[in-house]
Structure 1
Amino acid sequence: MAGLAATGGTAGAGAPTPPRTGQPGHLFHLAATEPNNFDGGWLRGANEQNFPVLAGQQGSVYLAHLDPGGIREPHWHPTAWELNYIVSGTAKWTILGTHPDGEYHNDVFTAERGDLVFAPTGLFHYFENASTTEPLDVLIVFNTSTAEPDDDIGIVGSLNAIPRDVLAASFGVPESAFAQVPQRIEPVVITRRR
């Protein structure tokens, strides 16, 4: 049915036109969408803003492309979990869990083509391209219909929202330790190693 349009059409010569459902189109051309470009790669997505059939469905999907050396900014989602499918390449992952026993639990691992990675709601996580020569492509499914990164709290914004003296006290270091950290930065989303 490669020729079938989102709102009806033909599936080929002589094929009948499927009936219209009265609903928004059910086909979305993810690869044809304009990517959001970042320093270390790009992000393409389908959400309720650009794929109306998702409105109220609590679902969205994104294709994250990380160039060699690319890093998805460390972040968490306060209202959504995410399921990540490695389409191509190799990813290094870190997921920081809670500490009910007094110890933080870091899950650090490598995921390869065909692997699934689940990041639970609210857990701090990130992934990076493990290769210095090959790109990484990850298909990400969220249980929210909002546009990414609208349900995303990144480490850069988080650290910039905290006064330097509070950061210093939290880390147990002099305030001067944070002197080189820029205080006003645009959202990062995807970056790269320098």
Structure 2
Amino acid sequence: MTEISRRNALGTGAGVAAAIGLGGASAASPAAAAAPAAAGPPKPPGHAHVFPLSKTAPTTFDGGTLRGANEDTFPVLAGQNGSVYLVHLDVGGIREPHWHPNAWELNYIISGTAKWTILGTHADGSYHNDVFESGKGELVFAPTGFFHYFENASTTESLDVLVIFNTSTAEPNDDIGIVGTLNSLPRDVLGAVFGVPASAFGAIPQKIEPVVITKRK
């Protein structure tokens, strides 16, 4: 599976304005007639407060795609503590289990059905592992620091989720995924914690990557 940096894959879609004034040369000035008209500076892709999220080039994974707007791609968000991502999961698609140390996550289901797992501590000092499904038109909230993930619960239709964070930074800067977490620990430590031989973790990928979208095999 090939992971692609989200920050490099999220473009703004800016184009160059068409040339203007092509018919304004005088017949008495051949040189002026032959000279190309100046195009002027490039025009912005739209209003400074508008971002074409659905039209940006997606980051493509084995299991779905990701589009996003953060302070790097949508400058008006700088310092505003806000960013948005559009997650598309194919049938069998899974968002890698992860958590955000410094941000909460609010998810709106645009279409399809998502199966969720959210793990975190509560006022009684215990862990609560909440497993549930959500559908079109529903909101799901993952508090700051809670371990969570979602997957496409349908075997016939895709899943689209709009994810909103209270951080302006690009998503990889506030994501800690399960693959990176396990791979950052020595194999003998993992073996001791899980009560199994260290060799049981030999197949974990050794390259730490940003949180990804994957797919059931």
Scaled to the shorter chain, the TM-score interval is 0.7 to 0.9
| Contact kept in structure 2, 1:38 and 1:188, CA below 8 Å | no
Identity across matched positions, percent: 76
- 5 Å-filtered alignment, 1:40-59, equals 40-59=63-82
Q: After superposition, what is the alpha-carbon deviation per residue over 1:46-101, rounded to whole angstroms, capped at 9, x for unaligned? A: 11111111010000111000010000000000110010000000000000011665
- 5 Å-filtered alignment, 1:76-115, equals 76-98=99-121, 101=124, 103-115=126-138
Structure 2 equivalent of residue 184 of structure 1: 207
Structure 2 equivalent of residue 165 of structure 1: 188
TM-score scaled by length of structure 1:
0.84
Q: For residue 87 of structure 1, give the secondary structure of its aligned residue in structure 2.
A: strand
- Where does structure 2 lack aligned partners over 5 or more consecutive residues? 1-46
- Where does structure 1 lack aligned partners over 5 or more consecutive residues? 1-23
Question: Counterpart amino acid of 2:159?
Answer: L
Return the offset for 1:37: 0.9
**Cα distance, 1:125–1:157 mapped onto 2, change above 3 Å:** same
1:73 aligns with 2:96: yes
Q: For residue 149 of structure 1, give the secondary structure of its aligned residue in structure 2.
A: helix
| Contact kept in structure 1, 2:172 and 2:210, CA below 8 Å | no
1:137 aligns with 2:170: no
The separation in 1 between residues aligned to 2:146 and 2:84, in whole angstroms, is 19
Question: Counterpart amino acid of 2:172?
Answer: P
Return the offset for 1:183: 2.1
Structure 2 residue aligned with 1:118, among 133, 137, 141? Answer: 141
Structure 2 equivalent of residue 155 of structure 1: 178
Q: For residue 157 of structure 1, give the secondary structure of its aligned residue in structure 2.
A: helix
Question: Counterpart amino acid of 2:120?
Answer: G
Question: Counterpart amino acid of 1:145?
Answer: S
Q: Aligned-pair RMSD on alpha carbons?
A: 1.5
Structure 1 equivalent of residue 56 of structure 2: 33
| Contact kept in structure 1, 2:110 and 2:136, CA below 8 Å | yes
The structure with the largest alpha-carbon Rg is 2
The separation in 1 between residues aligned to 2:122 and 2:76, in whole angstroms, is 39
The separation in 2 between residues aligned to 1:59 and 1:180, in whole angstroms, is 37
Q: Which runs of 4+ in 1 moved over 3 A?
A: 99-103, 185-188
The separation in 2 between residues aligned to 1:173 and 1:111, in whole angstroms, is 35
| Higher-helix-fraction structure | 2
| Contact kept in structure 2, 1:40 and 1:69, CA below 8 Å | yes
The separation in 2 between residues aligned to 1:45 and 1:179, in whole angstroms, is 34
Structure 1 equivalent of residue 44 of structure 2: none
Aligned length: 171
Q: After superposition, what is the alpha-carbon deviation per residue over 1:99-127, rounded to whole angstroms, capped at 9, x for unaligned? A: 66564210100000011000000110000
Question: Counterpart amino acid of 1:138?
Answer: V
